[in-house]
Structures are given as C-alpha cells and as structure tokens.
Amino acid sequence: MTCRGRIVEGAESVALQRLLDDLFPYSPQLILHLEGVDFIDSSGLGLLVRLVNRTRNANGHITLCAVSRQIAEVLEVTRLRPVFESYATEAEAITARYQRADSGAGTPRFHNDILCVDASADVQAYVRELLGQAGYGVLTAGNVPDGLILLQATRPKLVIVNPDVRQARGTRSAERFNALADTLKVIELPADFSRSNAAEAGQRLLDQVRALSAIS
C-alpha cells in the first residue's frame, strides 16, 4: 500500500487505520510504501507502532519499504528503527516476505521503571516503544482509574502524564492518583505532544527522562 503526504493525528491517521483494518482480513502480510510521506507526528508514529504490534499478535506482519528521508531520520532519532522491518524497495520487501524467519529475539528491558497515562492509544504505543528501545520498562494506561491501579501496584520511578490527567482533581481516583504522583518524579507531556514532529518530541521526552533518571 502506498502512503503519501502526512501521517498525523486526526483524519489522516483514522483513514490509514481504517484502510489497514479493511485490508488485513484479506492478507495479514502488508507492505507500506512510505516514499511519499514527508511528515509524521508523535501520534502518527504511535499508530504505526500499535499497528505493527497488533498484526504481530494476530500472526500477521507489516513491513515498510522505500522509507522517505524525513521518516528515516525520525526513526533514527527516536531509536524506533528496530521496531519496524524495513527495506529499500518494494521488490526487496516482497522477496523478504517469503524468506523471513522470525528470530524470536527481543530487546532486554527493565520492568516497571515508568508509568505513562494518556487517553490516546497511539501516544501510549509511541512512548512505550520510544522509551523501551532506550532500555526503560514502561507500563501504560488510558485513563486515571487504570493508571491509579498500576501506580499503586508497581510504584514506578517516574510517571508521564498528559496535562488533562495532571490537572484532574474532581474524582476520588484523580485525587488519589495525583496525590501519589506528587511523591514521585513526574513529566507532564506538552498539550501538543501528539501533533508535534515525532523526532523532536521524542528526543525532548528522552532528554527529560534521562535527566530525571540521573537524579537520585
């Protein structure tokens, strides 16, 4: 499948997900041709990560080919290149589909270092893989009650939240979550994180995490 333009939060990401959802029942082995994609935001990259993981869990596979220079730079900066199987040309990607043998090797990670709470499944996927590739163990939740359960059960070293979560104080769960978060190191994602350039937003988040991790 050939993609052009931008993969960003909103109509573009929704259209891509719907198209892949329609195609997957006919063929669980999909190839995304990204030569014409010139911009991807954090949410868009999170969508690709989530789709790759979902198809793998369903015994399918998404392969990238002809990745544009802009997207290649994003994958390098965010260290997410290992998450995706990528080839220079569509022909190479098709050939590899018949030759690939899964190694089963995984990236060793430490567990329960970080808890991320954000309503967007795409942002969760992006943060989880971005920080996972840097060696951190990341748990994610999409709402405050689930976040509170994980916060109490795992006692992470660092909490990453969007502004809405951090400002929520109107319910018992929100009050308890933020009271516990106040005793830990917290990074509040910018309000426009999901719409920001994925490489720049990811690098800023990594820098923040590393800086706080260095504080005893």
Q: Give me the tens of pLDDT residue by residue for the chain, a chain 216 residues long.
A: 888 899 999 998 989 888 888 877 776 788 899 999 999 999 999 999 998 888 888 778 888 999 999 999 999 999 999 999 898 888 888 777 665 533 343 443 445 689 999 999 999 999 999 999 998 989 898 989 988 988 888 889 999 999 888 887 778 988 999 999 999 999 999 999 999 999 999 999 999 999 998 764
DSSP 104: -
C-alpha distances in angstroms, 90 versus 80, 87, 194? 21, 7, 29
Considering the entire predicted model, what is its pTM? 0.73
Q: Where are the domains of the chain?
A: 2-99, 114-213
114-213 classified as CATH 3.30.9.90: no
Assign domain 2-99 to its CATH architecture.
2-Layer Sandwich (3.30)
pLDDT for residue 98 = 61
* Closest listed residue to residue 202, CA positions, set 142, 116, 107: 116
Which of 38, 40, 113 has the alpha carbon at shortest distance from 80?
Answer: 40
**What pLDDT, on a 0 to 100 scale, did the predictor assign at position 76?**
92
Query: What would you measure as the largest C-alpha separation in the chain, in angstroms?
Result: 56
And the tokens for 207? 């820098």
From residue 81, give the alpha-carbon distance in Å to each of 49, 58, 67, 71, 77: 10, 21, 11, 10, 9
